[in-house]
Amino acid sequence: MKHEIEQKWIHVSYKETSKFTETYGFVGSQGTVNLEGVLIRPRNHQSKTIFLMMHPSSTLQLLPLPNAMAVAGYPVLCMGSRYVKNDSPLIYEKVLLDLGACVRYAKEQLGFEKVVLLGWSGGGSLALFFQSQAQNPTITHTPAGDVIDIKSAGLIPADGMVLEAAHRARARCLVDWIDPSVIDEHNPDRRNPEFDLYSPNLAVQPPYPQDWLLAYREAQLARVRRITDWVQDTLETLKKRNTAEIERCFVTHRTMAEPRFLDGSIDPNDRVIGQCYMGIPETVNTGPVGLARFSTLRSWLSQWSIDHSRADGESCAKQVTVPLLAIEHSADDAVPQRDIGLMYQACGSVDKEMHCIKGANHYFKGQPEQLASAVTLITDWTQKHGW
Say how far apart CA 232 and CA 19 lie, in whole Å: 19
Taking CA atoms, 370 is separated from 64, 199, 376, in Å, by 11, 36, 10
pTM, two decimal places: 0.97
Say how far apart CA 60 and CA 74 lie, in whole Å: 16
Say how far apart CA 105 and CA 71 lie, in whole Å: 23
**Backbone φ, ψ for residue 314 (5° rounding):** -65, -45
For residue 336, give the DSSP letter.
Answer: -
Report the phi/psi class of residue 151: left, alpha or beta, with left for phi > 0 and alpha for psi in -120 to 50.
alpha
User: pLDDT digit of tens for each residue in the chain (387 aa)?
Assistant: 789 999 999 999 998 877 777 777 656 667 889 999 999 999 988 899 999 999 999 999 999 999 999 999 999 999 999 999 999 999 999 999 999 999 999 999 999 999 999 999 999 999 999 999 999 999 999 999 999 999 999 999 999 999 999 999 999 999 999 999 999 999 999 999 999 999 999 999 999 999 999 999 999 999 999 999 999 999 999 999 999 999 999 999 999 999 999 999 999 999 999 999 999 999 999 999 899 999 999 999 999 999 999 999 999 999 999 999 999 999 999 999 999 999 999 999 999 999 999 999 999 999 999 999 999 999 999 999 999
- Within the chain, all domains assigned CATH 3.40.50.1820 are found at 5-169+310-384
Q: How far is CA 372 from the centre of its chain?
A: 24
Considering the domain 5-169+310-384 in this protein, what is its CATH number?
3.40.50.1820
The candidate with the shortest Cα–Cα distance to 178, out of 129, 247, 128, 228, is 228
Read off the pLDDT of residues 260-285 as tens digits, 9 standing for 90 and up: 999 999 999 999 999 999 999 999 99
The candidate with the shortest Cα–Cα distance to 126, out of 212, 53, 194, is 53
The predicted pLDDT at position 28 comes to: 60
User: Whole-number mean pLDDT of the chain?
Assistant: 96
Report the phi/psi class of residue 292: left, alpha or beta, with left for phi > 0 and alpha for psi in -120 to 50.
left
